[in-house]
Structure 1
């Protein structure tokens, strides 16, 4: 009987960890989308360019946003935007990432370390970053759904307009 109760307690604990992990992952995901956009709009341009030239994937992605929309005093330049976006997407290497792994017949489940490609966030976040930046550039009501995160959309719109005016 004690073993049965212990299994139930462990199962409930595992589910709690899994559910809290999912919530954290979604919040982190939303914040990461905003973080890339805010950095593109507010970080010193020379710093972004230096980091991009040094191979920083996030900085390369930020420059692609700047060139697509002609922000921060840069003219719209789809060739430059494509070049930086391609460089960001081609980042090589792997890094250890903590992920939740569900239980199976051979595994109890729980948090595990996995080796994943670096800058995989660029691929997975690219679509939402694009939706948010397009909504901001068009001053669209879609920004409320596309730019979810810790910063209010009104603040993102203000930063966007400032970057457009530079």
Structure 2
């Protein structure tokens, strides 16, 4: 069982709903302009199960989950989180990585502004250097599946079964 760090975008919460949620789940609340975010830590066997468990807890407290937001980081963010220099990050990005790092640096999530990466990809890679967090994070595919589930669950729509390999879509919850 792993502990997943999840960053939720939520509708503007009431003070009472936040306090109720804090009773049942560890969270950090932040506002960026009109965007309200909650970071939560949830133990589960998979990112989807962690999200389902956390979402149910947040909903029971009266919060509305909009989506699971990607934890995106720039080169500067990577340097700060890994306690390295921007020059070291630049070397990793270009492939002139540190000796002993068996895997190549993760591909960027987007190339906007010189590249942004999913923190989970960087965190997983950095463990080979003895750096990074102890938490697990969703990957790119996990975000797509989780946000699809959140939309379908909130609207009570059937969700496609992506584990079906017969070539025909099946719906299920």
Give the shorter-chain TM-score range. Answer: under 0.3
Instruction: Work out which of the two has the higher radius of gyration on C-alpha atoms and give 1 or 2.
Output: 1
Higher helix share: 1
TM-score after normalising by structure 1: 0.25
Higher strand share: 2
